[in-house]
Structure 1
């Protein structure tokens, strides 16, 4: 937003007083355009959500069960888990594609693979072909899902970064809703098109991404890391300040990005995988990332997400239409709560939402367990109905943190040099936990019944203690400022020193393309550096 920035007092964070208060962001055409391109990245998560809900719905379709010889036990676990096994196979490659070729290229590559895979899945005439196609979907999804939230974080307008990245995981439920109601709608179609139609629709977000991704701006941080600073400044100016490269906010962002990247190269040059455990700050990050990755899948939610038909059948609800209807309503409910919580994350804060989420899940999962036990003993219908109500209340608390925040929080606590690799570690941990659950849940539920729920009661109690002890609040900070919370003031001071040296040297190109910056530009840059030092 061009023009002088109004002073907004009361904030201790470096960029707060540089935000132009003359008009709200939603009246700025270029910020709105940027947000529209963000939607194209956000729907990557919808592809993943579609898959989980589709597989849940297909298990209630006789046509699908007949086509694949009524899978159960280990085979059913494999059909659900194979997509995530595909994700696992791509993790060794995804950070190198994202860091080497760019965030946009990684999204495009993943989308192309998923387009091919959904064609094969839709055309499947054997269980082997269906499994192979789902493996390919997971393989492609890794490239897109590893780069899309990172690009959103790195290019978003500063005050919208938290809500925008939080929406990423929340849109998992958009795909889930579409899949749930698609399978509900195709239930009465005779023949294989009852399950082929949902399979085909799964590829729609990927088709849109292949066609439109090249209009999305590349990450200014990635461009700076490749020496393309003039392009990075152009993008920041165009989308964050109506094209004004001399806007105080743009200058602050640009100098801070350059300083952080230069610090990574000069002081923290070792950015290999070992860097994640080489210092105290990174070990803190790793502990939190792996913790919330496992918690997001091991809180009991996947028992419902992937095997709702088995859960509902165990409390006497065996009608497929009723099962599909409950699945569809639950997904809409989850979507509304997750979107609301994601939009409020900068007002309430990350830590309060995570603490409320884990405690709430523990309470309502415990009540679910009691209801399940009562129904199993004497078939009490009131207990069965209460059990369904507790599913909705449990998910309300899951959705306020573990849907919107796990991706956004992970991405924002990682420094640029480790962001792609660290996010890959997070996704690897999440996928391992998910695959384990997908295999174990149907077998354990069949063998143990309601007693299996007691395992999650104990685990949720542990989650609550872990979150209380280790989760750090990050709201209202730039990505570079957040580093000081983990690495200490010493790291921030070194970045400031680098910023000071940068600012005392003329820029290679000024905003209009001349050989050097004007004296006015250099003075402005020095003012920005003083602000960085103050932080």
Structure 2
């Protein structure tokens, strides 16, 4: 079968795996406020005095929403082993098949337990894809484009959120349970496209070489980086370096998850894990899952009336991810993370102050969920809406894409699959906790929920400043040196202080050009890992 080797085609196809996560987020956020959903998954006393269905209470809705990230946590943990055995591409295809099975169950759900099981299966798929798509792309990307290409995963997530939200909005005008079953069923289509699209894309040459499929690895390198020229000196050089890497890894074959916690590796392991944890503790998925609750509290009307205003933030999310894709490698990782944490702390603080000083308690039966525990109006309402939009724009330009790029740059090849899987699993563990926590939090501590996220953003700013080094545009040997510098005669690993590391994009581009290939054709630094480790 003919295969395509254009790096942008490879990335654009693979990141559909990220879009699956986006579809799930907005399919829940747009549907939980509609009457057909509430009537299908209702609770005693069943209806308000106005005759509307109450739907699940705050705790139950938190559990339904959290089922997907709970499954994703398990899927991410499993994905490292799956990827090492079957390959990067094949593991993503397996995730696509699992997604279709989950969608069938969710679409056919007649009660809450069936809905939760379907969402857990969907989550298992998302966990596999979200962990292995960055690994797959990183192993075929040029260093000067690596951030942009891996960051496309976040952009695909934003597109999935936006597309599915407006599908749900359109379906909300349908009668009966078709209002939520139709969009839940349509989620299967992208997964089928992902599976079929990957059939005509190559496997990672690194993985192929590790399985002694040297001819296949040579063919993939030729396809991606030499436009079919098997005699390319550059391909010969890269293949030799991959061979050296594989030999090195076999001589050091005692590789297990325990190595990630070795003193030599623990620092980068903790950084990768906390990159994903902090991306959740920003509170962004509160805006994604429960935006209809937030805008109802902002005085825009009942839960069903806020769907269209809520959709604006999803458009902002898509549009503001683009600057990060274009300029992320120029900006560097550290400045992007620091600026994002500072401004997100600011927007959360603004919302906390406004709700604390201007909100009132809702009237009896004013809303059908106790998660909507305060209502604000007038100029303060407009300020909350503006601050919410600014929060989304900040996350989309900073932590959103960088949180997927950064972990894949930290580790040697021999542990990358497992390390990124561990980091991604921490993302889903905290996603699960927050998805379950937020409705009861709004019900019980009201505006204090925003204070909590503001504190988290302040903590992540401090953490990044002191411990997160710059990795953008650096050859692997320099990334290794950042973490592995030691003082003579010392057994302690004393790396370069994070605040002394810098982005050196111009030098990276110059090196690629001096090697006789354009930056679009230069294989990533991950292919040079064996020589550096």
Specify if TM > 0.5: yes
Identify the match of residue 301 of structure 2 among 318, 340, 347. Answer: 318
Match of 1:423 among 420, 425, 429: 420
1:270 counterpart SS class: coil
Contact 1:374/1:380 (CA < 8 Å) preserved in 2?
Answer: no
Match of residue 223, structure 1, among 208, 211, 224: 208
Q: Deviations over 1:205-225 (max 9, x none)?
A: 211122232211100111111
The offset of 1:63, in angstroms, is 0.5
Q: Secondary structure at the match of 1:155?
A: coil
Q: How far apart in 2 are the matches of 1:313 and 1:354?
A: 31
Q: Which of 324, 327, 335 in structure 2 is aligned with 1:344?
A: 327
What are the residue-to-residue correspondences of 1:8-407 with 2, within 5 Å? 33-69=6-42, 70-266=55-251, 268-280=252-264, 282-320=265-303, 322-376=305-359, 379-407=376-404
**What is the SS of the residue equivalent to 2:255?**
coil
Cα drift, residue 473 of structure 1: 1.1
Distance in 2, matches of 1:162 and 1:261, equals 25
The verdict on how the C-alpha distance between 1:454 and 1:170 changes in structure 2, with shifts beyond 3 A counting, is: same
What is the TM-score of this pair, normalised by structure 2? Answer: 0.82
Report the Cα distance in structure 2 between the residues aligned to 1:206 and 1:30, rounded to whole angstroms.
Answer: 19
- Provide the TM-score with structure 1 as the length reference: 0.82
Q: SS at 2:399's partner residue?
A: coil
Shift of 1:309: 1.9
Q: Equivalents in 1 of 2:195, 2:377: separation in Å?
A: 52
In 1, distance between residues paired with 2:143 and 2:189? 30
How far residue 482 of structure 1 moved from its aligned partner, in angstroms, is 3.4
Unaligned runs of 5+ in 2: 43-54, 361-374, 488-526
Alpha carbons 1:46, 1:175 under 8 Å: kept? yes
What residue in structure 2 maps to residue 435 of structure 1? 432
Change (3 A) 1:533 1:456: closer
* Higher mean C-alpha displacement, 479-488 vs 271-280: 479-488
**Offset of residue 279 of structure 1:** 3.0
- 1:14 aligns to what? none
Alpha-carbon distance, 1:385 to partner:
0.5
Q: How far has the Cα of 1:371 moved from its partner?
A: 1.7
Q: Which structure carries more helix by proportion?
A: 1
Q: Give the conservation status (yes or no) of the 8 Å contact 2:19–2:160.
A: yes
Which digits, 9 at most, give the CA deviation of each residue in 1:309-346, with x for residues without a partner? 22222232233454211221111111111122122111
Q: 2:299 touches 2:377 (CA, 8 Å); kept in 1? A: no
Q: Could you tell me how far 1:292 is from its partner in structure 2? A: 1.3
Deviations 1:175-196 (A, max 9, x none): 0001111111111101111101
RMSD of aligned residue pairs (Cα, Å): 2.5
Question: Do the aligned residues in 2 keep the contact of 1:113 with 1:137 (CA within 8 Å)?
Answer: yes
Structure 1 residue 72: deviation in Å?
A: 1.6
Runs of 4+ in structure 1 off by over 6 angstroms are: 532-535
In structure 1, list runs of 5 or more residues that go unmatched: 1-28, 491-528
Distance of aligned partners of 1:145 and 1:126 in 2 relative to their CA distance in 1, 3 Å threshold: same
Structure 2 match to 1:510: none
Name the count of aligned residue pairs.
466
Q: Deviations over 1:97-126 (max 9, x none)?
A: 100111121111111111122122112222
Q: How far off its partner does 1:160 sit?
A: 2.7
Residues 39-97 of structure 1 show CA distances to partners (whole Å, capped at 9, x for unaligned) of 12111111101101110001121111111111122210111011122223334432111
CA separation of 1:260 and 1:480: change in aligned 2, threshold 3 A: farther
- CA apart distance, 1:163: 0.8
What is the CA–CA distance in structure 1 between the aligned matches of 2:475 and 2:181, rounded to whole Å? 45
Any conservation in 2 of the 1:166–1:343 contact (CA below 8 Å)? no
Q: Distance in 1 between matches of 2:169 and 2:232?
A: 52
